[in-house]
Amino acid sequence: MRAAAVQLNSTDDKERNLATAESLIREAAEAGADLVVLPEKFNLLGTPAAMRAGAESPDGPTIRRVGGLARDLGLWIVAGSIVEAMEGDEKLRNTSVLLDPDGEIAAIYRKIHMFDVEVGGVTYRESDTEAPGDRIVLADAGGLSLGLAICYDLRFPEVFRILAVQGARTIALPSAFTLHTGKDHWEVLVRARAIENQVFMIAAGQIGKHPPDHESYGRSMIVDPWGITLAVAPDAECFIAADLDLAAQERMREKLPSLANRKPEAYRWPEPVAAPR
């Protein structure tokens, strides 16, 4: 399977974002991609007010448009994430949608971990406007076991280990990693999740400045289960692509069977305690 990650500089101009994403998806398809992953909040990235005004449902115009592309091009597409409006709920969701080559929704994942931090002098409080999902999602993408995660989830290895134990061969990670954290942590964390779980990581990121005062690191990556970077994006809107050698992954898992060598009976979670500050 050939996979691609699309890197965008999304803003509060939804039509511009969608047009750019569509162009890059088509280029990736021409380059032989079977699976394309878009970044976090690919269709709209702006102020809290703009995000609320532009929120959609998974059967809204953004996903219908991307589904049409998937159908026209015969692709699997991880529609990065959108801000989802939930009927009867004041809080939004950060929602990733997997579309099959018929343009139908194959899986939906809602980001579990809210980005409530202060980095580089900027405060992020996702939980002010968004509520977390509560379910880890593994999907079947045409015979490929594909795990779904979003951005800040990357710092929580439990999610990725559970996906690997459930059978994930590849994990899609739409992101908008901050410039401040990305320069020190992005590559290390993406490669670590690949190595420890012996999976391919398709990490599609945002790049550049977004309203009101945020800036994303970019450097979208495709990493193999040995931790080797197969492709990395330059500092521009673009796509990257790489072949996923699933047979080589199987051989590696046989020779270095770290997942098979786990000892679940010895792993005991501590009693619940308050998170350290």
pLDDT of residue 159: 98
Lowest mean pLDDT among 125-129, 185-189, 235-239: 125-129
pTM score of the predicted model: 0.96
Task: Tell whether the model's pLDDT for residue 134 goes beyond 90.
Answer: yes
pLDDT of residue 13: 97
**Tokens read off for 42:** 């690919």
Beta strands in the chain (DSSP E): 2-7, 35-37, 76-84, 93-99, 105-110, 116-119, 122-125, 137-141, 144-148, 170-175, 200-205, 207-210, 214-217, 221-223, 229-232, 238-243
The answer to whether the peptide bond before residue 225 is cis (omega within 30 degrees of 0) is no
DSSP H helical segments within 148-206, as ranges?
Answer: 157-166, 179-181, 187-197
The answer to whether residues 80 and 174 touch, using CB atoms and an 8 Å cutoff, is yes
Task: Tell whether the model's pLDDT for residue 164 goes beyond 70.
Answer: yes
The model's pLDDT over 33-77, given as tens digits with 9 standing for 90+, comes to 999 999 999 999 999 999 999 999 999 999 999 999 999 999 999
Residue 277: pLDDT band by 50, 70, 90 thresholds? Answer: low
* Domains observed in the chain: 2-261 (3.60.110.10)
Instruction: For residue 46, count other CB atoms closer than 10 A to its CB.
Output: 21
Over residues 143-171, mean pLDDT: 98
What residues are annotated to the active site?
40, 111, 151
The model's pLDDT over 184-236, given as tens digits with 9 standing for 90+, comes to 999 999 999 999 999 999 999 999 999 988 899 999 999 999 999 999 999 99
**Tokens read off for 253:** 């898992």
Q: What is the mean pLDDT of the chain?
A: 96
